Chain A
Amino acid sequence: MKLCTQIERVEKTVDDFTVGPIDLDIELGTITSLIGNNGAGKSTLIKMMMNLVKPDNGLLLHFGTNIKTSEHWKQDVAYQPQSVLGCDLLTGNHLRDLMAPWYKNWDQEMFMNLVRIFEIDLNKRFGKMSKGMQQKLNIVLALSKNTKLLILDEPTANMDIPSKQKLMNILVGWMERDERAIVIATHQVDDIKKLADYIVIMNEGKVLGKYEKEELVYRYKRYWFEDGLEIEKIPGEIDRLNDRLLISNNVDQTDTFLKKNEIKIMQSEVLEVEEIITYMLMGR
């Protein structure tokens, strides 16, 4: 397991909101998705990873280099921001010409290929493009830098459904190339289901945890019982929708208890990813 990014005790306070302290490792070869409500601190964390927001405390390394004291990492990390200011008058071609010379691994062939796939008009001014099209151009520019780490901040928020599907396949293909990693902040369940290996849950500026996707899925379970439950609280119980339907976040504990007390289960099933995330963000 090779690390591409190490985040240690990183902290930033703006006005009365503090993000951190955050500890987080990103492994090469994996896709990590950052999940959390609006205002949870995802974008601030991402901006700190790009050194666009300077942390008050802590240490941030990409490929072993401290991003505060060195510039080397910039060749290896690409970033797609949620929004870009100040380039409304520039066309796609202008933006490419401004960006490409800075990246020694710039892949022009990939750039043209992605422009074709997303049907981007490179002669159109950025400000005249739809939000979805602006987003596509930003992602294509980031991908073509051909870096080892790609950081995406809500890449599919404004995209139509076919474009979302296209992007997913492109990202899967992009990961095949080399030892690479993607960090993706997203609210799209499909992104999480189809792309994420690790899920990092953020709430109120803190990281609640980093989980391997299946580990998270198998932690929760829904049970239906043959008879009404007369017991007040069952180990692992986090929700009860009626006296025959219960949700647990500790399947082992719940199963052991049910067996010991001979409570008959009619059926049980794992939860959907969105349900699990909702419970986690409620602190259950």
Chain B
Amino acid sequence: MELPIKLSRDSRVPIYHQIEGQIKALIVSGKLPAGSPLPSIRALSKDLEISVITTRRAYQDLEYGGFIKTTQGKGTFVAEVEVKKMEKLAVSSVSEAIEKGVETALRHNYSVDEIRSVFEEVLARLKDNDRGGSE
């Protein structure tokens, strides 16, 4: 596997959208800097066990969005993305992730206060880890 993409087949989010979101996150977080080569549509389809039709759709969306560019004969690469756009995306991906967590909590019949306290707990723990991890 060339890219750390993990698909959830049971998610309501369509597969092509999941790929798109995860590649965007890799770009925005700086893990895939501008100019990095991306796997071909066929190779990624094999790795993710999906059809090229689905992968192509994700790549097309990313290309329209200006995140990647394809050069005939050379392949697909990460494009230069404006800093502003990156910041905006980071914010929306964070809120998306939190939304997902809240949804899970609501499914388990958590109250608003319970969710808040879980959030505080997680935040405190991760902050702690962060401090410990830098030693």
Residues of A within 8 A of B (CB): 29-31, 168, 172, 175-176, 193-198, 212-214, 217, 268-270
How far, in Å, is B122 (CB) from chain A's closest CB?
24
A30-B52, A213-B51, A214-B53 provided; 5 other pairs, C-beta below 8 A?
A: A29-B52, A30-B51, A172-B46, A176-B42, A269-B9
Q: How far is the CA of A162 from the CA of B40 in the complex (A)?
A: 23
Majority secondary structure, B binding face: helix
Q: Is the pair B9, A212 in contact by a Cβ cutoff of 8 Å?
A: no
How far, in Å, is B51 (CB) from chain A's closest CB?
4
Q: Is the pair A172, B51 in contact by a Cβ cutoff of 8 Å?
A: no
How far, in Å, is A51 (CB) from chain B's closest CB?
29
Query: Which residues of B71-126 are within 8 A (CB) of A?
Result: none
Return chain A residues, CB-CB under 8 Å to B40: 176
Q: List 11 A-B contacts (CB under 8 A).
A: A29-B52, A30-B52, A175-B42, A176-B42, A176-B43, A195-B46, A212-B51, A214-B15, A214-B50, A214-B53, A217-B9
Pick the residue among B10, B42, B49, B50 that contacts A268 (CB under 8 A): B10
Pick the residue among B9, B42, B54 that contacts A270 (CB under 8 A): B9
Q: How far is the CA of A172 from the CA of B49 in the complex (A)?
A: 12
Q: Is the pair A194, B10 in contact by a Cβ cutoff of 8 Å?
A: no
Q: Is the pair B10, A214 in contact by a Cβ cutoff of 8 Å?
A: no
Quick one: which of A31, A172, A214, A269 has the most chain B CB within 10 A? A214
How far, in Å, is A148 (CB) from chain B's closest CB?
15
Pick the residue among B9, B49, B53, B54 that contacts A194 (CB under 8 A): B49
A-B pair count, CB < 8 Å, reads 39
Query: Which residues of B1-46 are within 8 A (CB) of A?
Result: 9-10, 15, 40, 42-43, 45-46
Residues of B within 8 A of A (CB): 9-10, 15, 40, 42-43, 45-46, 49-54
Q: How far is the CA of A172 from the CA of B41 in the complex (A)?
A: 10
How far, in Å, is B37 (CB) from chain A's closest CB?
13
How far, in Å, is A29 (CB) from chain B's closest CB?
7
Return chain A residues, CB-CB under 8 Å to B49: 193-194
How far, in Å, is B80 (CB) from chain A's closest CB?
26
Q: How far is the CA of A197 from the CA of B51 in the complex (A)?
A: 4
Q: How far is the CA of A270 from the CA of B46 in the complex (A)?
A: 19
Return chain A residues, CB-CB under 8 Å to B50: 213-214
Q: How far is the CA of A29 from the CA of B53 in the complex (A)?
A: 10
How far, in Å, is A188 (CB) from chain B's closest CB?
13
Write the chain A residue with the least CB distance to B56. A29
Q: Identify the 7 closest CB pairs spanning chains A and B, nearest first.
A: A197-B51, A213-B51, A193-B49, A270-B9, A194-B46, A269-B10, A175-B42
Q: Is the pair B43, A172 in contact by a Cβ cutoff of 8 Å?
A: yes
